[in-house]
Amino acid sequence: MSKIVRTDTVYEGFSRLLIATVELPDGRTIRREIEDHGRAVCVLPYDPARRTALLVRQFRAPAALADGRPHLLEAVAGSVEGETPDACAYRETIEEAGLKLHVLEHLGTAWSMPGISTEQMDLYLAPYSKDDRVGAGGGVADEHEDITVVELPLAELAVMADAGQIMDMKTLALLQALRLRKPELFRA
C-alpha cells in the first residue's frame, strides 16, 4: 500500500501548498502536490413557499484563468474558521447572502477534489422565507469578495442544470439533491 513518508510546505497563505513524498508498494517514491485548504461548507438556501433559491455570484480567479469566465453562480460557501461546520454555514449565509437561517439539513461531507486538495466540504440544504433576509449580503468587505446575491426560481435553476449552465460542482450537487428530495418545488 502506498504511504506518505514526508511532506514539505512550499507556500503558506490562504491555503498551504505541500509537496508529499509518497512511497509506492514496490519501494519507489514519487512526489505529489497537495493544496491544504481545510474544512469548508456549502449551503443551498431555498424558499419552499415562493419556490426560489438564493445563490451568489462572484469572481473566481481560477475559473477566469481557465476559461475567461467573469464569475460563477454558486450556492453560499466558505471555510470553517475554528467553529463547527453548522456554525460556519449559518455565518457564511449571513455574510454572503444577508440571510438568517433557522434550520440546516446536513446532506453529508465529501472531498471536493481528492486528487489535489485536503478540503472536505459539508453540504447543506436550508429552507428560508423572505422574512429571513436580515441584510444585503455581499460578503466581508475586508476580504474583497464583491458578492452579488441572486434569487432565482427553482424551475429556472432546474432548466439551467439540465442545460449544463450550473458550472459549480457543489452547487449542482445541492440543486440535484433538492430536486430528488422535493421535486414538487421545481414545477413551474
CATH number for the domain that contains residue 149: 3.90.79.10
Q: Give one word for 142, left, alpha or beta, with left for phi > 0 and alpha for psi -120 to 50.
A: alpha
Cell numbers at residue 142, please? 475586508
Residues 158 and 69 reside in one and the same domain: yes
Same domain, 20 and 58: no
pLDDT of residue 11: 96
Per-residue model confidence (pLDDT) at position 175: 98
- Same structural domain, 81 and 114: yes
Q: Do strands 105-111 and 120-127 pair parallel, antiparallel, or not at all (unpaired)?
A: antiparallel
Q: Rounded to an integer, what distance in angstroms lies between the CA atom of residue 116 and that of residue 12? A: 16
Q: What is the pLDDT of residues 146-156, one digit of tens each?
A: 889 999 999 99
Domain count, the chain: 2
> Which pLDDT score, from 0 to 100, does residue 135 have?
84
108 and 77 part of one domain? yes
Domain that includes residue 16, residue range: 1-36
Same domain, 31 and 45: no
pLDDT digits (tens, 9 = 90+) for 27-84: 999 999 999 989 999 999 999 999 999 999 999 899 999 999 888 999 999 999 999 9
Claim to verify: residue 20 and residue 93 sit in the same structural domain: no
pLDDT of residue 141 exceeding 80: no
Over 80: is that where the pLDDT of 138 sits? Answer: no
pLDDT score of 142 more than 90: no
Question: Rounded to whole angstroms, how far apart are CA atoms 57 and 168?
Answer: 11
DSSP state string for 59-121: --HHHHHHH----EEE-EEEE--SS-HHHHHHHHHHHHH-B--S--EEEEEEES-TTTB--EE
Kind and range of the H or E run holding 36: strand 29-36
Q: Tell me, yes or no, whether 9 and 87 share the same domain.
A: no
Residues 6+ apart with CB under 8 A from 56: 73, 74, 75, 76, 96, 97, 137, 139, 147, 148, 149, 150
59 and 15 share one domain? no
Say if residue 21 is in the same domain as residue 43.
no
Give per-residue pLDDT as tens, 77-136.
Answer: 999 999 999 999 999 999 999 999 999 999 999 999 999 999 999 999 999 999 999 988
Closest by Cα among 51, 46, 42 to 72:
42
Same domain, 21 and 108: no
Q: Check whether residue 11 and residue 93 sit in a common domain.
A: no
Are 114 and 175 found together in one domain?
yes
